[in-house]
Structure 1
Amino acid sequence: MESPLINLALLEALKSEKFSDEIDLFLPFIAVTILELGMPTVQASDIQSKLGELFGFRPPISAIRVLMTRAKNKTLLIRENHAYIPCAEKIHEWSNGYSKKKEDLEVSLGSLKNAFVEFTSERFQKDLTLPEAESLIFQFIEENVSATVSRRAYSKAELENSIKNTNHIIASFISHIHKKEPVLLEHFGRCVKGMLLANYLYFADKRTTKKTFEKISVYLDSPLVIGLLGFNGPLNKQANEEFVDLLLSLKIKVCIFDKTLEEIERLLSAWKNDISRKSFGRFNTKTLELLRSQGYDEARLDTEIKTLHRTIENKGISVIIGFAAKERFQCDEGALEQAIAENFKKDKNLEHDTVCISRIHNMREGRYIRELSENFSVFVTRNTGLAKFANGFFSRNNYSSPIPVVVSEQWMTIMFWLKNPDITSKLATDQVVATAYSLLYTDDKFWEAFLDRLDSIKKRGDISEEDFVLVRWDSDLLRMVQDVSVEVGDDFSEEDVFDIVDGIKRKYLLDSKQAMADLERQQAEEIQRLQILAQAELTSEREARDAARAEKDSIVLRHKALENRVRKFSRFVARCVSTPICLTLIAFLIIASIQSLPAGVLPQLLQDPELLERFKLSAATISITFITTAIWGISSWVFGLDVKKLNRLMEDWLTNRVLALFMGKPGI
């Protein structure tokens, strides 16, 4: 196959946008295949072979016949005398721009492959050819999307042992484009959806046109529920939520057995106990990091355990308590456990998987389940190996079914992803991205080989206890181990181990320097902030003082203006009082003086009897007048008390009185 990625992407790009059901999606492939055949009549076997040549997958003849029947109904084919004759006009119409789309995909997927080659060279110092890059990407998609167990359309990538951990390289690349290259992730997503379409024709029930499936009961495996609860990271949680939402939207009953609830409770209890004892040896490194980052402690995990049942049910999942097995249909659980044990490590407890799978088999009562419209239960797991060995056991014991007892998450996605496009538009890509991240965080054989070598070095005393603790629980250790495993596989030398230890110590040294620099920067920023704040306060105080001074000056000016007005008024009043008094005293003094003179001395004018009688003063008045004049004169001589000074005193007294009266009013 010249370019498997382009063929996969074409499956996605060519599918019809308008369709009555899923089968219509494949008519463009049939149209292109018939067009490329260039034969006057076509048979199912011809189309099957050409599909394999053009798109890299060979659906069963039964699926081809269904597609040909639909093509006949859409007038792409005309049937005469048991032969199918292509209708050229309809064939061109349904080919859906095959040549142009192929050219566009060659460009976009070329950029994806080139980016992978550059990433591998920069990150891992490994050189890949474009065919090797394409082969690795395709292999990863096939292994994590395809549900075919025995059949592969393409051979696996062969890199001549130059890369010992290809999964880590491709998973790192997917993580990279997910974070930083959304356009490349879109190109990658087309290939993922193309693989789903290719698998759909192998597995999907093409006779069922239903849009809801109330008769189906899906029982989830523990890891799916744990991921749904968020304990495998946000990406895994998102993919699992989309998966469950798809099932629920199709009215499929989503359940777990009480054994599954118990297993999850035991896992959370083990985490709680290990955290309370500060014993972290059994933890997956990334699980421990996730729990710490999200603030999980003993108390919070205890709360999670107590509310676990309700939490699961709130996600639309029913918890089935108890099970009454029908003895007639009960399988040999001991033999079943031995069969699935081939897929696990020797110390793995298989009670949960054995009991759950046995119950599903018992519920089927030996019925042969052929179509999705039937009433049946199925156990869904992420572990494709578990599905393979469990279904193999039942096949050897005279029970097999087109819809097996145990299916993978991929199988369920293939079966139902086209039933609700609104929900599943991102499901396939999100599942593969979540798988990539899980591979980055998985404790695998490379990790175990490294820990064995690290423990042996510690026992010899070649690494201190302080350095061991520093390295063993570092959040970047797993990534660094996997990076090295790309070159050495699981054959870690002591030099490799010391390089990793030194790398982590350098990281802590750099982190410490960065922390010090950050602290100094924060202190400088704080000092600058305080200086700016102090300057602002000083400016504010200065402005306040200036405003107060201006207000004070304004008040003083208003006070002076008022005082001037009041003083003028007081001066006027004082003069109005003193002037008549002085004039009266002077008049009395003159009259008294005239009366005291002898009659012959007075001028003729003043000797008029009537006039003298009119201005005649009494002796008392004359006496008072002279006494007052005398006192005034003495006071003026001794104290300088003259009329002017009395005027000023009266003016000041009256001014102070009036001002005192006004000063109590606001605004004065």
Structure 2
Amino acid sequence: MESPLINLALLEALKTEKFSDEIDLFLPFIAVTISELGMPTVQVADIQTKLSELFGFHPPISAIRVLMTRAKNKNLLIKENHAYIPRAEKIQEWSNGYSKKKEDLEVSLGSLKKGFIEYTQERFQKELPLAEAENLIFQFIEENVSAAVSRRAYNKAELENSIKNTSHITASFIGHIHKKEPVLLEHFGRCVKGMLLANYLYFADKRTQKKTFERITVYLDSPLIIGLLGFNGPFNKQANEEFVELLTSLKIKVCIFDKTLDEIERLLSAWKTDIAKKSFRRFNTKTLELLRSQGYDEARLDTEIKTLHRTIENKGISIALGFSAKERFQCDEDALEKAIAENFKKEKNLEHDTVCISRVHNTREGRHIRELSESFSVFVTRNTGLAKYANGFFSKNGYSSPIPVVVSEQWMTIMFWLKNPDMTGKLATDQVVATAYSLLYTDDKFWDAFLDRLDTIKRRGDISEEDFVLVRWDADLLRMVQDASVEVGDEFSEEDVFDIVDGIKRKYLADSEQAIADLQQQQAEEIHRLQVDAQAALATEREAKDTAQAEKETIVLRHQALETKIRKISRFFARCISTPICLTLVAFLIIASIQSLPAGVIPQVLQDAKLFENLKLSATTISITFLTTLAWGISSWVFGLDVKKVNKFIEDWLAEKILALFMGKPDM
């Protein structure tokens, strides 16, 4: 195949938007295939061969027959004498712009491959040829979407020896475009959906036209529930939620066995115990990082365990409590465990997988399930190897079924994603993106090889206990190991290990320096803030003082103005009092003085005028007058008391009394 990615994308791009069921989606492929054949009559075998040449998938004859029958019903073909005659005008109509769409896809997928090449050069300093970039993307899609493992139409490319961990490169690129390159992710998504379409013809029950499947019961494996609970990261959780939503929308009963609930509880309990003891050796590095980042501690995990049953049921998943096996249909669980053990490490406990698979097999009671309309149970796992070995075991022991006992998550998606296209538009791409992130966070052979080398160096004493602890539980260690594995694979040298250790130490040093710089910046900002606040407070205080002073001055001025008015009034009344008294005293003094003079002394003018004839004073009055005058004179001589001072005294006394009456005595 010249370009498998373009062929995959064409499967998605050519599908018709107007269809009565999912079989109609494939008619454009049939139309293009017939057109490319250029024969007056076509046979089923011709279509099968040409489909493989054009689009890279080789569907079984039974699927081709269904497609040919549908093409005949849609008037693309006329059947005569067991041969199919193409109708040119209908073939052209259903080709759906094949040539133009192919040209457009060549451009868009060219940008996807170019982006991959540039990313690999920038991120890993690796030169990636164009053909190799395409094959890496195709292989990743095939391995993580395709369930037709035995029917692959493409040959895997032989990769250069310089790249020892191609899965990590591809997964990193997918994570990159998911976060930063939505256009490239859209191009990638077309290829993913094309792979699903290619696989659909191998598995889908093409005779069942149902839109709901109430008679199907799905039992989910533990890792799917762990992901659904969010313990494998947000992207995995989203993909699992979409998967469960798809199944429930089709009325499929989604369940787990009580054995699965127990296994999840034991896992959470083990996490709780290890966190309480601060023993992290058994943790997956990214799982530990996730738990720490989300604030999981012993108490919170204990709460998760206690509410686990309700949490799972709230997600639309039923828990099957208890199971009564029918002895007649019971398989040999010991033999089953030995069969699936080939897919796992030796220390793996397989009791859960063995019991759950055995129970699903038992519920089928030996029936061979051929159609989706039948009543049956199936065990769904993310582990394609588990499905392969379990189904192989049953096949060797006389039980095989078109719909097997154990299927992968991909298999279920292929079976049902076209049944509800409005809901599942992003499901396929989201599953692959979740798989990519999962690969970035998974402990694999490269990780194990690095830890073995690191432990050897530690035991030899070439790395301190402090540095070992610093490196071993660092959140970036797994990523750095996987990055290094691109160059060295799983053959880590001591130099490689020390480079990673030094890289983490430099990171901590840089983090420390940055933390110090941030702290200094925070302190400077805090000091500046305090200074600004202090200046603002001081300005406010000054403003308040100025306002208070201004108000006080205003009050004082008003008080002074009032006091001035009152003193004017008091002065008037004082003069009204003192002036008559003084004038009277002066008059009495004059009269008394004149009366005291001898008759011959009084001027004749005064005598002729007879002014004092009616103003004669008694001797007492005269005495009082003279004594008063004498006292006044002595007081004036001794104390400086004069009329002005008396007048002022009266004025002040009256002013104080009036002020005290109306406003109290003012503070001066």
Match of 1:392 in 2: 392
Asked if residue 549 in structure 1 is aligned to residue 549 in structure 2, the reply is: yes
Q: Which of 347-356 and 463-472 deviates more? A: 463-472
- Amino acid in the other structure paired with 1:639: F
Give the conservation status (yes or no) of the 8 Å contact 1:276–1:298. Answer: yes
Match of 1:127 in 2: 127
Match of 2:628 in 1: 628
Q: How far apart, in 2, do the equivalents of 1:614 and 1:469 lie?
A: 132
How far residue 40 of structure 1 moved from its aligned partner, in angstroms, is: 4.4
Q: Which of 261-270 and 29-38 deviates more? A: 29-38
Give the conservation status (yes or no) of the 8 Å contact 1:599–1:607. Answer: no
Asked if residue 153 in structure 1 is aligned to residue 153 in structure 2, the reply is: yes
Q: Secondary structure of 2:422's match?
A: helix
Q: Secondary structure of 1:379's match?
A: strand
- Mark the CA change 1:584 to 1:420 in structure 2 (over 3 Å): closer, same or farther: farther
- Amino acid in the other structure paired with 2:449: A
Asked if residue 355 in structure 1 is aligned to residue 361 in structure 2, the reply is: no
Which digits, 9 at most, give the CA deviation of each residue in 1:439-469, with x for residues without a partner? 1111111111222222222222222222222
Q: How far apart, in 1, do the equivalents of 2:103 and 2:571 lie?
A: 110
How far residue 116 of structure 1 moved from its aligned partner, in angstroms, is: 0.8
Asked if residue 469 in structure 1 is aligned to residue 469 in structure 2, the reply is: yes
How far residue 519 of structure 1 moved from its aligned partner, in angstroms, is: 2.4
Give the conservation status (yes or no) of the 8 Å contact 1:120–1:169. Answer: yes
- Mark the CA change 1:27 to 1:656 in structure 2 (over 3 Å): closer, same or farther: farther
Which digits, 9 at most, give the CA deviation of each residue in 1:175-223, with x for residues without a partner? 2222222222222112111211221222112222222221111100011
Q: Which of 350-359 and 608-617 deviates more? A: 608-617
How far residue 385 of structure 1 moved from its aligned partner, in angstroms, is: 0.7
- Amino acid in the other structure paired with 2:396: R
Q: How does 1:266-277 map to 2 (within 5 A)?
A: 266-277=266-277
Give the conservation status (yes or no) of the 8 Å contact 2:147–2:199. Answer: yes
- Amino acid in the other structure paired with 1:222: S
- Mark the CA change 1:608 to 1:138 in structure 2 (over 3 Å): closer, same or farther: same
- Amino acid in the other structure paired with 1:117: I
Q: Secondary structure of 1:421's match?
A: coil
- Mark the CA change 1:559 to 1:168 in structure 2 (over 3 Å): closer, same or farther: same
Q: Which of 26-35 and 244-253 deviates more? A: 26-35
How far residue 239 of structure 1 moved from its aligned partner, in angstroms, is: 1.1
Match of 1:181 in 2: 181
Give the conservation status (yes or no) of the 8 Å contact 1:218–1:253. Answer: yes
- Mark the CA change 1:42 to 1:615 in structure 2 (over 3 Å): closer, same or farther: farther
Given the two structures, how large is their TM-score scaled by the length of structure 1?
Answer: 0.93
Match of 1:341 in 2: 341
Q: Secondary structure of 2:419's match?
A: coil
Q: How far apart, in 2, do the equivalents of 1:355 and 1:137 lie?
A: 37
Q: Which of 375-384 and 239-248 deviates more? A: 239-248
Asked if residue 245 in structure 1 is aligned to residue 245 in structure 2, the reply is: yes
Q: Which of 274-283 and 173-182 deviates more? A: 274-283
Match of 1:412 in 2: 412
Aligned CA RMSD, in angstroms, stands at 2.7
Which digits, 9 at most, give the CA deviation of each residue in 1:117-147, with x for residues without a partner? 1111122221111110000000000100111
- Amino acid in the other structure paired with 2:484: V
Q: How far apart, in 1, do the equivalents of 2:661 and 2:420 lie?
A: 90
How far residue 405 of structure 1 moved from its aligned partner, in angstroms, is: 0.6
Q: How far apart, in 2, do the equivalents of 1:614 and 1:142 lie?
A: 149
How far residue 329 of structure 1 moved from its aligned partner, in angstroms, is: 1.1
Q: How far apart, in 2, do the equivalents of 1:449 and 1:286 lie?
A: 17
How far residue 600 of structure 1 moved from its aligned partner, in angstroms, is: 6.7
- Mark the CA change 1:453 to 1:640 in structure 2 (over 3 Å): closer, same or farther: same
Asked if residue 486 in structure 1 is aligned to residue 486 in structure 2, the reply is: yes
Q: Which of 43-52 and 108-117 deviates more? A: 43-52
Match of 1:379 in 2: 379
Q: How far apart, in 1, do the equivalents of 2:42 and 2:559 lie?
A: 115
Q: How far apart, in 1, do the equivalents of 2:53 and 2:17 lie?
A: 24
Q: How far apart, in 2, do the equivalents of 1:126 and 1:85 lie?
A: 52
How far residue 413 of structure 1 moved from its aligned partner, in angstroms, is: 0.9
Q: How far apart, in 2, do the equivalents of 1:185 and 1:280 lie?
A: 36
- Mark the CA change 1:634 to 1:285 in structure 2 (over 3 Å): closer, same or farther: same
Match of 1:201 in 2: 201
- Mark the CA change 1:657 to 1:168 in structure 2 (over 3 Å): closer, same or farther: same
Give the conservation status (yes or no) of the 8 Å contact 1:243–1:427. Answer: yes
Q: How far apart, in 1, do the equivalents of 2:506 and 2:363 lie?
A: 58
Q: How does 1:298-309 map to 2 (within 5 A)?
A: 298-309=298-309
How far residue 83 of structure 1 moved from its aligned partner, in angstroms, is: 5.0
Match of 1:289 in 2: 289
5+ residue gaps, structure 1: none
How far residue 366 of structure 1 moved from its aligned partner, in angstroms, is: 1.3
Q: Secondary structure of 1:423's match?
A: coil
Which digits, 9 at most, give the CA deviation of each residue in 1:525-582, with x for residues without a partner? 2222222222323333332333233233323322322222222222222222222333
How far residue 99 of structure 1 moved from its aligned partner, in angstroms, is: 2.9
Which digits, 9 at most, give the CA deviation of each residue in 1:86-120, with x for residues without a partner? 44444444433333332222222111111111111
- Amino acid in the other structure paired with 1:362: N
How far residue 33 of structure 1 moved from its aligned partner, in angstroms, is: 3.2
Q: How far apart, in 2, do the equivalents of 1:588 and 1:310 lie?
A: 120
- Amino acid in the other structure paired with 1:134: E
- Mark the CA change 1:566 to 1:36 in structure 2 (over 3 Å): closer, same or farther: farther
Give the conservation status (yes or no) of the 8 Å contact 1:77–1:87. Answer: yes
Match of 1:28 in 2: 28
Given the two structures, how large is their TM-score scaled by the length of structure 2?
Answer: 0.93
- Percent identity over the alignment is 85
Q: Which of 419-428 and 654-663 deviates more? A: 654-663
- Mark the CA change 1:630 to 1:88 in structure 2 (over 3 Å): closer, same or farther: farther
- Mark the CA change 1:643 to 1:100 in structure 2 (over 3 Å): closer, same or farther: farther
5+ residue gaps, structure 2: none
- Mark the CA change 1:333 to 1:544 in structure 2 (over 3 Å): closer, same or farther: same
Asked if residue 165 in structure 1 is aligned to residue 189 in structure 2, the reply is: no
Match of 2:536 in 1: 536
Q: How far apart, in 1, do the equivalents of 2:14 and 2:644 lie?
A: 119
Give the conservation status (yes or no) of the 8 Å contact 2:659–2:665. Answer: no
Give the conservation status (yes or no) of the 8 Å contact 2:656–2:665. Answer: no
Give the conservation status (yes or no) of the 8 Å contact 2:112–2:187. Answer: yes
Q: How far apart, in 2, do the equivalents of 1:170 and 1:31 lie?
A: 34
- Mark the CA change 1:619 to 1:370 in structure 2 (over 3 Å): closer, same or farther: farther
Match of 1:582 in 2: 582
Q: Secondary structure of 2:230's match?
A: coil
Give the conservation status (yes or no) of the 8 Å contact 1:273–1:298. Answer: yes
Q: Which of 21-30 and 357-366 deviates more? A: 21-30
